[in-house]
Amino acid sequence: MPIVDFIYDFGSPNAYFCHRVLPAIAGRTGATFNYIPCLLGGIFKATNNQSPFTAFAHIRNKPQYDQLEMQRFMQKHQLRNFTMNPFFPVNTLLLMRGATAARQLGWHEAYVEAMFHFMWEQPRQLDNPEVFRQTLLDAELDADTLLPLLQDDAVKQTLIANTSAAVERGAFGIPTFFVGSEMWFGKDRLRELEEHLLEG
């Protein structure tokens, strides 16, 4: 049973799209997707990269094409609930520390589903601590247990280590996937990833 490491950050709409498509790929390939929370800003800083929304904003016609490509992807995979977050870009430090803590607590899957939902389906300003706390409560997650862990040194260091390890493996952005030492970047490489899994 192949294991695929999924490097993710809730601030990436493309990570959201992948999250919604991965269950179908897992069903067809038998693969297990290991979600690894990383800080996209940290990856950008370490690799001298920047958001496509910033890097390509000045290029004539490219932003419009990117929107077309996004629409095609949603249509292909029947993703009807996506809504662009009006607060984008969102500082995801709290969210990604929360994901790291949720892994330790054993309810990472429920946390991931809730945060992707409230980032890209019913968008909220999740870098606002009060909004973040209320979102945990609305998702029936234990805010009183999770929130203190956001300042825990072990949680902070784990997130930093995850991010550094992803860069050392070759990541320069999100979403990134690893099968062993093989890497695929972006939602537009999901087909190639699936083909590799089926071949393996």
Task: Per residue of the chain (200 residues), give pLDDT as tens.
Answer: 899 999 999 999 999 999 999 999 999 999 999 999 999 999 999 999 888 777 777 889 998 999 999 999 999 999 999 999 999 999 999 999 999 999 999 999 999 999 999 999 999 999 999 999 999 999 999 999 999 999 999 999 999 999 999 999 999 999 999 999 999 999 999 999 999 999 97
User: How far is the first Cα of the chain from the last one, in angstroms, to the nearest whole number?
Assistant: 10
Give me the helices (H) in 38-170, please. Answer: 40-47, 52-55, 62-76, 93-105, 108-120, 129-138, 143-149, 153-169
Contact 119, 16 (CB under 8 A): yes
Contact 44, 149 (CB under 8 A): no
Q: Which residue has the tokens 């990833």?
A: 193
- In the chain, where the domains are located: 3-92+153-199
Q: How far apart are CA 31 and CA 23, in angstroms?
A: 9
The CATH classification number of 3-92+153-199 equals 3.40.30.10
**Residue 186 backbone class (left: φ over 0; alpha: ψ -120 to 50; beta: rest):** left
What pTM, to 2 d.p., does this model score? 0.94
